[in-house]
Chain A
Amino acid sequence: MLQQLGHLPMGWLLIALIAVFASIAFFAGRVRAERILLSGEQSLHSRPNYHGYFVAMWALVPAVLVALAYAIGAEGISRNQLVSELPPAFDLLSDAEMKTYLDSVAQAALAREDTGTDLVFTAVTHRYLEIRGSLNIGALALMVIGALGGLIFSRRRLGTSFRARSLVERGMETVLFLCAAVAIATTVGIVTSLLYESIQFFRAVPIWDFLFGTRWNAQTEAEFGALPLFFGTFTIALIAMLVAAPIGLFSAIYLSEYAGPKARGWIKPILEILAGIPTVVYGFFALLVVAPAVRGLAIWINETLINIGLTTEPLLAAQPTSALAAGLVMGIMVIPFVSSLSDDVINAVPQTLRDGAYALGATKSETVRNVVVPAALPGIIAALLLAVSRAIGETMIVVMAAGKSARISMDPTSDLTTITVQIVSLMTGETGFDDPKTLSAFALGLVLFAVTLLFNVIALRVVQKYREKYD
């Protein structure tokens, strides 16, 4: 019996129950309010619907709390209970083995494959299902009691002078606040999860070795010197900015100072398409077109240099995936980030400044170079900083086109690896959360988060300061 209950589709059941209770409570409250109204003595403070919402609110809160508690805690509680009941022989298993075992138990229970030949496993699975079943029935009962209790309690309070609307609105405001607070929760979640795992990692690997070590071999020999990754990340970001900064800036200047409204109306949205293309598409483009082209060019340069006798050995590495290829494509990707932000700040420069420059006899380009751009400079710098932060955090292009060898090399045609590439390759294997290999991904994530945050904060500060200047 309990075993059967263990198979209950709790997700759907809980959602359905919440919906049912909410509507029952709403109608209970509304009907009561209408009765009071019909009895005809006095008018209500709030309209009947608000009485309905009030009762529904009281029924919903306990029900949702129970559902959330079940969603977060049920698996852990049933596993702890199961482990405490297992015979002593199971104590021999390490924590990781126990987790694997429990995972397979849970999976077998879920898939109803609980009639295997391994009798112990079958017994454990059955017991697991029983525990699940009692938890399920407990959660359902708790939800019914909570929702009904809330319903009955709140329904009693209804009356002619009851300020249902104010209370509902206060409740609603709390909900709105909680939604806004999700932003804090997310940030806190990011920071704590990164810090927690990183601290564990730094217990095994000294932070100094991690930040300044020059050998990175996380997959095999467990060397965690991340300097080559930082080098790769910044080299590729630099290449990207060498492409994006001039193209983006000149595009912005052309669009805001030279192009007519019609051309602007066409070109601006087309440029913004570049920002909307998924990065995996850029990665494929880098792999399919740009990387082979870069390689071909490097080989040609090598041969030419050897032919004219400048060198005897090939100068460039000319590898199939290269920092240059990834950087070039990443540069294309960041163009719109530079151009549209710069465009905005250039447009915000007051026309009077331009007119002043023209009055002194400056040509258009002199006005742009000597007046408009310096006036917009803080905003342009902010745009460039945001673009750099984008480039550093970008993942798919480098995963597909930058390569995986951690080295410090000045040759842009050799393959370099980046922070993001290593995070992906460390986290996509089947690993537990207790070995330094996985934990190092979190340490890298922490560095990435800190650096991009720094760039963003500086950029936002610069923009704010600049805004005050002309407003």
Chain B
Amino acid sequence: MTDPAPSTFSSPEAIKRLKRRRAADVRFRYYGMGAIVLALGALVMLALSIGSQAVSAATYHVARYDVTLDRAVIAPPGEDTPEEISRNVDGFWSLVRNNLLETFPEADLDRASRTEASEFITRLAVLPAARKVAAEPQLIGNEMTVSAPLNDDLDLYLKGQAFPERRVRVGSLSSASQQEAGLARLEGQGAFTPILSAITSLEADGADLSEGSVLLTAGSSTGRLSDLQPDAASLELLTGTLDDFRSGNATARIIALPEAQRVVSDQQIAWTLALKEMGRISREPRWSLLTNSDSTYPELAGGLAALVGSLFTMLVTALVAIPIGILAAVYLEEFAPKNRLTDFIEVNINNLAAVPSIVFGLLGAAVYLNFLGMPRSAPLVGGLVLALMTFPVVIIASRAALKAVPPSVRSGALAIGASQMQTVFHHVVPLAAPGIFTGAILGMARALGETAPLLLIGMVAFVGDVPKGPTDESTVMPVLIFTWSNNAERAWEPMTSAMIVILLAVLLLMNGLVVFLRRKYERRW
């Protein structure tokens, strides 16, 4: 055994170089992994940010009001047919509001307070109750519990999404005595120290509490604290009685945001907390997202009209794009002679599949609306526009499926005397059917998520009624998402996310169907 002769590959420089090259190799691999992690991370972030918002919109707060259905209010003489009762939103709403004013006598003292109380419930929120009474007139004159969604701002407040709020327990209070000018004096050994330390820590974090509020709640009573000292403070009672503060544990809520900049006033917070304490507010699943149509009030809005509009639009698209696409694919794959015309058709199809969707919207606006005079905002027109966009996709997928059928099938059929048409439609197309249909479903899924071309043919209009046919004014789910995302109020954000989740669920279902079809019917020749 002799040592290997020293070579250029084992010199110290070469070994160093090899090390460097190997390190570069490892780095390169990590770049690849990093790219995938980034891409998947973006997907996860998208899912999480939208999902977490959607979860908060999946439930909402519903308040209950026990009212007596006074005939004079909801069905006055001359206006007592079921239709008139079901439209008497004002009557039902005043019953509900009066119930609220009876619960909180301080709300009835002046006009401003009444307005604040009125904001608890949107007028249109009593519509289901009105319809129920109209359907069962024997209810009139009896007691009834009206459930109505809470105003969206209060709903957000209860979910803790309206503005930051720090909650602290206060120590036990020894006395609560009424002073002059609506102020009460609360005292207790070190009772307010927790509040003061919380304020100090908030201010240390950069919060400006000079115009904020400190609310103190005990039982169903709430007041606003001022003049805070470790052992005593002044309380301006907003609702309830002083007795609650003498007996129970009190919780303070520190809100830094000045009342003037909030959509929810201290008074409204006090009433909401009281209603909640009385058990009259509960958090319920928001089925109205699927059963209501669009509304200008987030707490009442839902996607039913858009769902039905999407359904009609997809129906039109499917009826036009799928047959035309399949037949065109059959022609190009099985019959087309090789000539300039068919080459031109092929080039056209490939280019159409890559034309930006908004150009199809322009085409729809110019041809369908302006030239043919079809109705604006109708699923019929939307469906036709999307059909033009989808059929190249269907053609490409169908051609791939037809191509996969082996020529032996065709030869066999032709050999036993079938005509070419019979060969294609009796043998080739049935064998290619699973592939053709998966392609068609994928094309439809793409059309379902399409927004831009539909904006151009007027499907952005506010649609409060469920469309009854393909020529009625309507909107579709992605456009509804776009419209909602444009709304300023905070409550629309979770609503939009929830709508997105519904849309993605439908798309996932369609893609799941594709996977299922592939697994079940895919053949390898």
Chain A residues packing against B (C-beta within 8 Å): 11, 71-72, 75-76, 165, 169, 172-173, 175-177, 179-184, 186-187, 189-190, 193-194, 196-197, 246-251, 253-255, 257-258, 267, 270-271, 273-274, 276-285, 287-289, 332, 335, 339, 363-366, 368-369, 386, 389, 392-396, 399-400, 420, 423-424, 427-428, 433, 441-442, 445, 448-449, 452-453, 456-457, 460
Contact = CB atoms under 8 A, between A and B. Distances in A.
A165 B370 contact: no
Contacts of B485: 280, 283-284, 287, 400
A277 B40 CA distance: 14
Interface string B358-381: 111111011100111100000000
A180 B352 contact: no
Contact of B452 (A76, A248, A395): A395
B363 A250 contact: no
Contacts of A395: 356-358, 451-452
Interface stretch (B22-30, B62-70, B203-211, B403-411): B22-30
B500 A281 contact: yes
Nearest to B366: A193
Interface in B21-52: 21-22, 24-25, 27-29, 31-36, 38-40, 42-43, 45-46, 49-50
A278 B34 contact: no
Given A176-B327, A271-B36, A453-B351, 13 more contacts: A173-B331, A186-B348, A193-B366, A254-B35, A258-B32, A277-B504, A280-B482, A363-B21, A393-B355, A393-B356, A428-B460, A433-B370, A445-B362
Nearest to A364: B25
A281 B504 contact: yes
Nearest to B346: A183
Contacts of B355: 190, 393, 449, 452-453
A251 B42 CA distance: 14
B496 interface: yes
Interface in B453-467: 455-456, 458, 460
Contact of A448 (B350, B358, B450): B358
A442 B366 contact: yes
B391 interface: yes
Contacts of A257: 32
12 contacts: A183-B395, A253-B32, A254-B29, A277-B449, A280-B479, A288-B53, A332-B39, A400-B482, A423-B361, A424-B456, A445-B358, A448-B359
Interface string B1-34: 0000000000000000000011011011101111
Given A173-B335, A189-B367, A184 B348 contact: yes
A277 B46 CA distance: 10
A400 B478 CA distance: 13
B349 interface: yes
Interface string B97-131: 00000000000000000000000000000000000
* Band of interface residues on B: 35 or more
Nearest to B446: A276
Given A190-B355, A251-B32, A442 B327 contact: no
Nearest to A442: B362
A452 B327 contact: no
Given A247-B35, A284-B50, A393-B357, A165 B419 contact: yes
A276 B503 CA distance: 12
Q: Which of B32, B388, B450 has the most CB of A within 10 A?
A: B32
A172 B43 contact: no
B328 A182 contact: yes
Q: Which of A175, A258, A278, A427 has the most CB of B within 10 A?
A: A278
Given A169-B421, A274-B39, A423 B456 contact: yes
Nearest to A433: B370
Interface string B295-312: 000000000000000000
A74 to B, nearest CB: 9
Nearest to A263: B36
Contacts of B507: 276, 278
A439 B331 CA distance: 38
Contacts of B503: 278, 281
A287 B455 CA distance: 19
**The 3 nearest A-B residue pairs measured at CB:** A393-B356, A254-B32, A278-B449
Given A183-B345, A278-B503, A386 B354 contact: yes
A169 B419 contact: yes
Contacts of A452: 354-356
A159 to B, nearest CB: 20
A363 B22 contact: yes
Q: Which of B36, B42, B323 has the most CB of A within 10 A?
A: B36
A365 B53 CA distance: 43
B442 to A, nearest CB: 9
A251 B362 contact: no
A411 B327 CA distance: 51
Nearest to A362: B21
Nearest to B484: A284
A173 B421 contact: yes
Contacts of A392: 356
Contacts of A399: 452, 482
Given A288-B50, A427-B361, A453-B351, A278 B356 contact: no
Nearest to A175: B327
A236 B175 CA distance: 66
B525 interface: no
Given A280-B449, A363-B22, A197 B366 contact: yes
